[in-house]
Amino acid sequence: MKILFLNGSPRKDGYTVRVMKCIEDGIESKHTVEWIHAYDLGIKPCQSCLQCRPNKECNLPKDDGHHVWHKIRSADALVIGSPTYFGNISGPLKTLIDRNLTAYEEIAASGLEMPISLHIGKKAAMVTACNAPSPISQLPNQSKGALQAMETVLTAGGYDIVGSITLDGAASKKEIPLEIQEEAKMLGVELQS
């Protein structure tokens, strides 16, 4: 099975990535794990032409957005992680997600029918890190907003979301707390079952 990790944090040793790596620890070595770091990519923002629906391909000149489309389409499971920025996901991750509308769902050319989710039966997990401590972190304009943004796209894709992890009060934590490490590892185990 191919498990794709989409990282929306610019910090490759930041809290988001460290929690995502704990999820990876729960995945057996027989599976293929691939990471995509949104901040490493050159992706022009979606222009909302919606030509990707009939054409089955983005109309923009080829860039990393096209490359990620194939990765998302072919992955058997997905882990999305992002720091909480103003109660949302990071800009580069949002750009990556928007550019890949048809990687998650297809809509008939008429645009009048319900979208078809392309990943029914696949599993997904979500991670966010934020500085606000609990319970403030769980407000809709805090980490909950970031998780909601990820959930929206995963739901469009039809994924079964096995769980989410919020590392709140991040700045006050030098290490990822053991219980979070264990919880994340268990998500990794669940993704492959």
Determine the 3-state secondary structure of 85 from DSSP: strand
Q: 39: which DSSP letter?
A: G
User: Residue 37's closest CA among 86, 71, 88?
Assistant: 71
Minimum gap (Å) between residue 98 Cβ and ligand FMN: 19
Q: Pick the closer one to ligand FMN by CB: 41 or 50.
A: 41
Interacting residues toward ligand FMN by CB under 6 A: 9, 11, 14-16, 83-87, 129-132, 137, 142, 170
Q: Pick the closer one to ligand FMN by CB: 121 or 135.
A: 135
d(CA 30, CA 43): 31
Minimum gap (Å) between residue 109 Cβ and ligand FMN: 39
Q: What share of the chain is helix, strand, coil (3-state, %, to 5)?
A: 40, 20, 40
Q: Pick the closer one to ligand FMN by CB: 119 or 144.
A: 144
Minimum gap (Å) between residue 41 Cβ and ligand FMN: 17
Minimum gap (Å) between residue 177 Cβ and ligand FMN: 14
- The length of the chain in residues reads 193
Minimum gap (Å) between residue 184 Cβ and ligand FMN: 14
DSSP 125-165: EEEEE-SSPTTGGGSTTTHHHHHHHHHHHHHHHT-EEEEEE
Which residue of this chain has its Cβ atom nearest to ligand FMN in the complex? Answer: 14
Q: Pick the closer one to ligand FMN by CB: 111 or 140.
A: 140
- Asked whether the beta carbons of 152 and 144 are under 8 A apart, the reply is no
Minimum gap (Å) between residue 103 Cβ and ligand FMN: 24
Task: Provide the pairing of β-strand 116-117 with 105-106.
Answer: antiparallel
**How many other C-beta atoms are found inside a 10 Å radius of the C-beta of residue 8?**
29
